[in-house]
Amino acid sequence: MKNRINERAAQIEAIIKKYLPKEEGYEKKIYEAMNYTMLAGGKRIRPMLMQETYRFFGGGLEIIEPFMAAIEMIHTYSLIHDDLPAMDNDDYRRGKKTAHIVFGEDIAILAGDALLNYAFEVASGAFEAYPERHEIGRAMMVLAKKPGVKGMIGGQVVDVLLTGRKISDDELLYIYKCKTGALIEASMMIGAILAGADDEAVGKVERIALDVGLAFQIQDDILDITSDTETLGKPVGSDSKNNKYTYATMHGLDESRKEVKRLTEEALSYLDELSGENQFLNDLLIYMINREN
């Protein structure tokens, strides 16, 4: 499975590169910082989920590609800002020095801002390429809402405000649902929408993605305790360093592993209820939730 994922990731990498800015002009430095982080590695899970959900519902056009690039740009901007000294203060990401270490805090902040804006510039190109496709408007709404104040940013805000304080399960799950789950939800929902799935199916996809996002984050908590920097590609123990409560620290490793298993089984059961076919999507969900890095 890992080899198949690597093959798909390489294909997605080629798609993403088509949409990256050229490093030229007076603003060349910001393009360098944007591209440095975009091309610093990663499994491209979010665009992969988008593409495979699109295929699950029978989609077969290139209309999905600008949205795949856009979701990875939004994810990458969030990582740039997350690594800043004012946030998690991490020096390495995916085994490479983070943007603020290489380019300085000022350019790193601007590179994150630029990637967020550029993501919508890229995705909106679908309107011109496919003017007859009304689904694009719905997909743009999801792309705008899920990473926003009611989604990823909202989760990050609550995470920052509650760092160092004892928190409840409800508060923790809100952070996980928004900070991690929102982009996974956006990825899978956009794939379904652009393939023409109806509202009921898109709703089920959103629920599948919620379970996947929660399981993905809890597995991340487990790895932060049990893995090492070389395997993970980023510093381990960062949650402890930043005085953050996580599912694993609140419930222990055994209970955390049980919850990952429960969420995985629930997500796959919802997937079975949908009228589509893509064994790779099924295998991908299992792999990413039970990953070791």
Query: Could you list the residue range(s) of the whole structural domain that residue 9 is in?
Result: 2-289
Of 5, 55, 61, 43, the closest CA to residue 191 belongs to 55
Find residue 97's DSSP bridge partners: 92
> Cα(218)–Cα(13) distance, rounded to whole angstroms?
27
pLDDT tens-digit map of 40-59: 988 899 999 999 999 999 99
pLDDT tens-digit map of 237-263: 666 556 678 999 999 999 999 999 999
> Cα(177)–Cα(214) distance, rounded to whole angstroms?
6
- How far are the Cα atoms of 45, 111, 155, 162, 183 from residue 98, in angstroms, in the given order? 20, 12, 22, 25, 21
> Cα(131)–Cα(128) distance, rounded to whole angstroms?
5
AA letter at 9:
A
Residues sharing a CB contact under 8 Å with residue 221, sequence separation 6 or more, in sequence order = 239, 246, 247, 248, 249, 256
Q: How many CB atoms lie within 10 A of CB 207?
A: 15
Quick one: DSSP state of residue 163?
T
CATH number for the domain including 142? 1.10.600.10
> Cα(60)–Cα(194) distance, rounded to whole angstroms?
10
What is the predicted pLDDT for the residue at 88? 87
What is the predicted pLDDT for the residue at 25? 97
- The three-class DSSP label of residue 97 is strand
Structurally, the chain folds into a number of domains equal to 1
What is the predicted pLDDT for the residue at 230? 61
What is the predicted pLDDT for the residue at 242? 62
Residues with pLDDT less than 70, the chain: 228-243, 293
